[in-house]
Structures are given as C-alpha cells and as structure tokens.
Amino acid sequence: MAAARTVLTLVRHGQTSANLDGVWHGSTNTPLTPHGHRQAEAAAAWIEAHHHPVQAVGRIYASPLDRAHHTAQAIGRRLRLEPTLDPTLAEYDLGEWEGLGFEELFREKRLFENLARDPHYAPHGGESPLQVGQRIADALVRIARAHPGERVVVVSHSGALSIGLGLLLDRDYTSWERRMHNCALSELVIEPEPTLISFNFTDHLPPDPDASGDERR
C-alpha cells in the first residue's frame, strides 16, 4: 500500500488597504480590511469542509505579518489548531521602497525589469529575488518533510509565493504568472517532485464590489 503523500494547502492572506490602494506593503505590517476578514472566514470554512484531514493530524504555518497571521487564526479557529508563525514565510521586503505605488515601482523604478535581469538585485536595503525565492522554497520543502502523510496549511503572500513556486516548479524565479488572489487556495506536493494539484482557487470567496486596486501584494 502506497504511503499517503503530504499536501500543502497554500493560502494567500486576506485583503488589506495596500491591496486596494495599489501600493507595495511587503515587510510593512498591514492589517486586514473588514472584507479581508470575511475572506479569511470563507477560506477557513472551505478548508474545514474540503481539505481533509487537516483537523485530524494537520498543522498551520503562517507568516508573522498580521495580514497572514490573522488569516491563519481564522482558519485555526475552524480547525481547532494554533498557527505556528514562521518568519521565512514573510513577504518580499523592498527596503526603502516599501509603500511606493505599484505603477511607480514598475515604470519609474523599473523594479521588475531589474529583478528579472539580476537575481541578486536588492532594492535599497531590501531583499533580492533569489533570497526571497530560496527562503520560501526551502520553507515549503522543510514544512512538507516535517509532516509526512499530512495535510498542512501554509499562509503566506503572493509576491513571495510567486517567486518561490517559480524556483520550485520551473527553476526560474521570474515565473511571475503564479500570482494569487486574496485568500485564494492552492495545493502543492513536494515529493516525488514539486507539483501543483490546484492553483488560485477562488470559488469560496465572497464578492467585494468596492475592490478597485491591485490585490497582488
């Protein structure tokens, strides 16, 4: 009989004001909006109903930033599990460019052009894409191997997860297309090789008619 495989349920945190305003809050500790809390509760209900057997033998790991921690707490209340905070799951830190608008980072600072060109490019006291991708990839592998045969919930951030999954799945940190919506769910296995079972599932989420910003960070 084949051993049960470990499945990581990857969750992006709920909506924040930075998502609505289209600004980058990587290491900035931004709280969830009221809608972000509703998203977290919806994700928690879906995981409880469909992502077995987290409640029986699983774990929850989360970035220590409030937006991820509080999303994980909503899931933990449903599953009667206490989240473990893991700083290696935090978002991409842009140093002095924290809080700048997404358009300014793209057009004036040429952030993404520089990131794609140089894996060691670190903007003004922040992290390089290789640093971010490697810590996220290493964290996902470490967590999966620590819980053989279990279902584990991991709550993190879109930017960091996009880069980490690029390294894990494609050996290419510039695979920007793997971006998650707020409180979207994805499923990842690490062994025998890293594979996404599902990605960016959003059917469980309540609509937000007021959302008009860039919700990728």
Mean pLDDT of the chain: 91
Asked whether residue 173 is assigned to any structural domain, the reply reads yes
Helix (H, G, I), strand (E, B) or coil at 198: strand
Active-site residue, 181 included: no
Residue 216 lies in a domain: no
Give the tokens for residue 202: 């959003």
Domain annotation covers residue 1: no
Task: Let me know if residue 87 belongs to a domain.
Answer: yes
pLDDT at 173: 85
Which of 13, 25, 51, 70 is labelled catalytic?
A: 13
pTM of the model: 0.92
Is 215 among the domain residues? Answer: no
Instruction: State which residues form the domain around 49.
Output: 7-201
pLDDT in tens, 7-17: 999 999 999 99
Q: What is the pLDDT of residues 101-141, one digit of tens each?
A: 989 998 999 988 998 999 999 988 899 999 999 999 999 99
CATH number reported for the structural domain that contains residue 196 in this entry: 3.40.50.1240
| Residue 13: active-site member | yes
Tally of domains in the chain: 1
In a domain, 212, yes or no: no
Which candidate in 69, 70, 91, 98 is catalytic? 91
**E strands, the chain, in order:** 7-12, 59-62, 84-85, 151-156, 185-189, 195-201
Flag whether 209 is in a domain.
Answer: no
Span 163-216, pLDDT tens digits: 999 999 999 988 767 889 999 999 999 999 999 999 999 999 999 766 554 444
